[in-house]
Amino acid sequence: MAEREVEHRRVVVETPTARREYEQAETVRSPERSGVSGGVLAAVVVGIIALAAIVILFVMNRQQTDEALANQQQPATTIVQQPAQQPPVIVQQPATTTTQPAPIIVNNPPASGGSAPATGNGDSAIQTAIDKKLNDDPTLSTLGITATVINGKVTLMGVVKSEALKAQVERAVRNIKGVTSIDNQISVG
């Protein structure tokens, strides 16, 4: 309901012949102050918009963080799969006489020294020279490249980080005396 307020006024009317006084009473109605003012309503609307913006930014940031974590986890799996974890390669040399020599087991060459046992034939000498060449070079010794020799043909296996390293390994092996051909199966990854 509206509030009622009575306003009293005293009015004096003077004319040249008379002076009159009378009282006026006037009822003034003012509306009730119920409900929310415009300022409070504006503050609530601004607060809701700000809260919605924060929630949207939080959700978008969380999605980007999840994607970044997924991208970071993928390279980690390739790092775990190093050539050093490959099983040893067993190579059997073809028989040149009626007795066949024992198979040569080639593991990834160790970083310090270490070479295949020399049996006196040409392939063993080439194998020894390749192992020595790869182990003596500081760049190539850390790659874990496996080389096998059969009748002067060298097969290279392993994983390197670039095409340049792959070519460098092949050049180093090609310069060894007795190597007739190279089957370069080194992967770039």
Distance, CA of 155 to CA of 129 (rounded, Å): 14
Percent of the chain's residues with pLDDT above 90: 37
Statement: residue 12 has pLDDT above 50? yes
Helix, coil or strand: residue 18: coil
pLDDT at 180: 93
Which pLDDT band holds residue 48 (cuts at 50, 70, 90)? very high
Q: Where are the domains of the chain?
A: 88-94+103-188
Distance, CA of 99 to CA of 122 (rounded, Å): 17
pLDDT digits (tens, 9 = 90+) for 94-143: 555 555 555 666 655 544 444 444 444 689 999 999 999 999 988 888 88
For residue 177, which amino acid is it? K
How far apart, in Å, are the Cα atoms of 87 and each of 73, 120, 170?
25, 26, 22
pTM above 0.85, yes or no: no
